[in-house]
Structure 1
Amino acid sequence: MTNEGPALLILGSGPNVRAAEEWPREWFDQIIVMNNAWRVRPDWDVLVYPEDFPPKKRPPELNETQRIVEADEFVPAQNLYGGFVHAGATMAYTTAYWALAALKPRVMAFMGCDMVYPKTGNTHFYGTGAPDPLREDISLRDLGAKSARLALIAAEQGCACLNLSQDDSSLLFTRAAPENVLNWNRIPFLDHERYQALRAVEDALGYDTPDGRYQNSADAVDISALDRIDAGWRALLSQADKADQGEPVPLRRR
């Protein structure tokens, strides 16, 4: 699949996002930031934040090329890809699914989104904060599996997900150097039959939340079913990685 969409840099608030401050702007087509990451560099294009992001932490003004994306845009976008329960209700994934729907990128490259938090020292580039991805939540039981799901859904759309971090990370994406993002031309191998089967299992569970407030029906969610789906996404991405590296991929028995 040929994708002529933009190459995106997506910035979160992890401590290592400071490395992105000096990256040349021409390495990326657009820069998408979430929550406090608008403070990392001034030349961002889109800022995504949830409805509970405090007004005092928002940028005081925008230039003519910048825009804000809030729940009225990202909730419908996330629902296009199965909703919050399956996608993972934290801003790194929410931002990515919005970008997939709205911008149709060919590359999404992530920095400051590792979602691995030290027991001591800074948890975010601005100091310490509440690690949202680690909260007790039915959608965040396996952050790595949610990243595998995102990578494969993006691949189905002709988009590569890259991790620009050199640190421990919950993101299972291919690691890459930032200077290679703009010319990146590889996406993971996708076993379409297994991919469609996983999406069908998700759909059959019926965990649709058009308003995004999935917590209101959390008690009705089959946790064991979600865990099996998470394991399926991990296995499917592992198969894709082996195929990309030229390793033999075991055939499934029918």
Structure 2
Amino acid sequence: MRKIILYAILAFVAIVSLVPFYMLVYTALMPASVNMADSRLLLKAIEWRNLQHAWEQSKLGHAMLNSVVIMAGSVLLSVFASAGAGYVFARVNTWYNRAFFAMLLFSMMIPGIINTVPLYGLMKSIGGINTLWAMILLIATGFIPQSVFLYTQFIRSLSKEIEESAVIDGCTPFTAFWRISFPLLLPITSTLVILNAIGAWNNYAQSVFFLQSQDKQTVPLAIGRFVQTYGADYTQMAAASLIGMLPAVAVYFVFQRYFVKGISAGAVKG
């Protein structure tokens, strides 16, 4: 009976979670002749041209390319930088390492939006306005505190003997980490790839300030401008939003196998 109740609760939560996604797909594929107030649970006809029209009018193709470049660059930079820093925090137990780690954790409590004005001045001084490389550095920097924390906790749960054996065999500590320990961090790495990739893909607050040129706009900016143009056309708005979210969903499905394992091991162990 306890299992039945548990599965019933889980099924209810899953259905409630899927309702917004179903409504988005429903609205995106709804024919223009259908009134939303009179719509039924299932569509009698599917209007695939809504997706084509939204793709062409919102210029999502170029925006997706920009978002992919920013997402890939920021994820790679944050993962490799955080893995190295997390290894040092986990293995080198000194007072200044502990102090710096505490400062890093404190920085996680500061909302990133409050740094917009000083960041704008910094970005302007280095020529980073309307450039993808500056957005990669900016977004990756925002990901690093959380990534370092999770890597540190996960590495602390690993045995030191493997690394010590590699050092005895002639590896440097740097080589021992990247060739022996880093492959063991696949669960937490996959988790951070999902979290950081979705965060970079959905970044709007900073992109709207630092990517003002239309040829540098990302998917959230393209959808935002599209919504401003077709504000009363919910079908086109939903179609553009559906197309824009598909890459992020794809990243999650690729790495979902290790997502829960990485979160639980990185946050609980150590």
TM range (shorter): under 0.3
Does 1 or 2 have the higher relative contact order (CA < 8 Å, sep 6+)?
A: 2
Higher strand share: 1
TM-score (normalised: structure 2): 0.24
Rg larger in structure? 2
Higher helix share: 2
